[in-house]
């Protein structure tokens, strides 16, 4: 009797199918796997030919899974999860790292400057930082812990609140001048370069438009606007004296403490409705995961204090 697995000549069609089934989109699957849309479509078509059954119902600008496709997706995702864990274990030997997912900005401004302290206390634990601005699936992608910036009400299930944040204008001393102790006027705004965060963030107060409106300067045109899609790069520009940024209190605590940045004497601070939470993968955590989780919560309490 022929082994059915011989029909599956390589792993690529299964990867293309899984990504397409998860997004129900050839376009999004192609973007995730760094392939063209036609390549993903061919992979799925090849898999359907090998299995002799349709996996998708192709409608007008819409994909749906057939019953066979739903059954295959469940099995493929289970196999991929097992394979990911096994490969990771083999790759690092017995020292399986603790994988922590977070955004690029949080990693650069809050996590990385503190991480050497954890490694000094626990040199036997390997830590892998997965910095990405997309919301990852921690179960599917083998993530142990995720540090997320999300709505505080309601909080994520089975999560630990780390800290909230205030948002307010900041800049170097050279850029601010006497705006470090007096509120800005319309003339002040007109001579400033504003550093704007463009990353489709769900927090509108990280954009300058609501601020200018709140302060009564909606019709004032700044000298220039520089746009960034990574928050750590925006803050680096502010430290370099290139303009005024909207600062996030906890992330910039060190910058404010040592004078690299100063708060503008704005009459308004925005208290964000979002906060930073630590989320863990389901199941009983490994001892090293629990150690890193406890340490992060301790660092958060120290940051707030």
The architecture CATH gives domain 4-91: Orthogonal Bundle (1.10)
pLDDT at residue 6 in the model: 52
Superfamily of segment(s) 98-158+274-304 = Periplasmic binding protein-like II (3.40.190.10)
* CA pair distance 221, 200, nearest whole angstrom: 22
Query: CA–CA separation, 145 vs 139, rounded Å?
Result: 10
C-beta separation of 163 from 250 below 8 A: yes
User: CA-to-CA distance for 90 and 3, rounded, in angstroms?
Assistant: 27
pLDDT at residue 278 is higher than 90: yes
3-state helix, strand, coil in the chain (%, to 5): 45, 20, 35
* pLDDT at residue number 1: 42
Ranges assigned E (strand) in 62-141: 62-65, 98-102, 127-131
Structure tokens at 206: 């990280």
The yes/no answer on whether domain 166-271 falls in CATH 3.40.50.300 is: no
- Per-residue pLDDT of 203-219, as tens digits, reads 778 889 989 998 889 99
Backbone angles phi, psi at 56, to 5 degrees: -130, 150
Query: So what's the pLDDT on residue 294?
Result: 94
Q: Which two tokens stand for residue 137?
A: 């699936």
Among 67-76, 82-91, 253-262, the range scoring the smallest mean pLDDT is 82-91
Quote the pTM value. Answer: 0.65
What integer pLDDT is reported at residue 141 of this predicted model? 84
User: Is 200 a residue whose pLDDT tops 80?
Assistant: no
Cα-Cα end-to-end distance for the chain = 69
What are residue 12's phi and psi, to 5 degrees?
Answer: -55, -45
Q: Which whole number is the average pLDDT over 147-175? A: 89
pLDDT digits (tens, 9 = 90+) for 231-259: 999 999 999 999 999 999 989 999 999 99
Would you say residue 304 has pLDDT above 90? Answer: no
Eight-class DSSP state of 244: B
Residues carrying CATH 1.10.10.10, the chain: 4-91
> pLDDT > 70: what percent of the chain?
93
Q: Could you please report the per-residue DSSP string of 94-159?
A: T-PPEEEEE-HHHIIIIIHHHHHHHHHH-TT--EEEEE-SS---TTTTT-SEEEEEEESSSPPTTE
Q: For residue 217, is the peptide bond before it cis, meaning its omega torsion is within 30 degrees of 0?
A: no
Q: Worst-scoring range by mean pLDDT, 31-35, 192-196, 265-269?
A: 265-269
Query: Could you give the residue range(s) of every CATH 3.40.190.10 domain in the chain?
Result: 98-158+274-304, 166-271
How far is 156 from 146, CA to CA, in rounded Å?
11
- What does pLDDT average to over the chain? 88
Which two three-digit tokens encode residue 244?
């005024």
Calculate mean pLDDT across residues 133-153. 84
Residues in Cβ contact with 114 at an 8 Å cutoff, skipping those fewer than 6 apart: 299
d(C-alpha 42, C-alpha 192), whole Å: 52
């Amino acid at each position: 009797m022929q082994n059915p697995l011989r029909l599956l000549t390589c792993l690529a069609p299964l990867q293309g199918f899984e990504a397409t089934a998860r997004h129900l989109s050839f376009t999004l699957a192609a973007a995730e796997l760094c392939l063209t849309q036609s390549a993903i479509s061919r992979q799925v078509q090849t898999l359907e030919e090998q299995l002799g059954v349709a996996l998708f119902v192709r409608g007008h600008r819409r994909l749906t899974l057939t019953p066979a496709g739903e059954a295959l997706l469940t099995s493929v995702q289970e196999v991929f999860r097992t394979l990911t864990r096994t490969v990771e274990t083999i790759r690092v030997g017995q020292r399986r790292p603790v994988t922590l997912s977070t955004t690029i900005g949080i990693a650069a401004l809050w996590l990385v400057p503190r991480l050497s302290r954890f490694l000094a206390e626990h040199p036997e634990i390997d830590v892998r930082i997965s910095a990405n601005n997309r919301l990852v699936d921690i179960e599917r992608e083998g993530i142990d812990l995720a540090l997320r910036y999300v709505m505080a009400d309601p909080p994520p299930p089975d999560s630990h609140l780390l800290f909230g944040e205030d948002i307010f204008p900041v800049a170097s001393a050279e850029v601010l001048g006497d705006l470090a102790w007096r509120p800005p006027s319309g003339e002040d705004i007109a001579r400033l370069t504003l550093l704007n965060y463009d990353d489709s963030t769900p927090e509108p107060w990280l954009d300058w438009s609501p601020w200018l409106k709140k302060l009564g300067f909606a019709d004032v045109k700044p000298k220039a606007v520089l746009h960034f899609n990574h928050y750590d790069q925006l803050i680096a520009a502010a430290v370099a004296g290139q303009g005024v940024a909207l600062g996030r209190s906890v992330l910039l605590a060190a910058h404010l403490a040592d004078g690299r940045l100063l708060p503008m004497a704005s009459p308004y601070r925005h208290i964000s409705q979002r906060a930073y939470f630590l989320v863990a993968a389901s199941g009983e955590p490994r001892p090293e995961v629990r150690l890193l989780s406890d340490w992060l919560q301790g660092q958060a309490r120290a940051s707030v204090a």
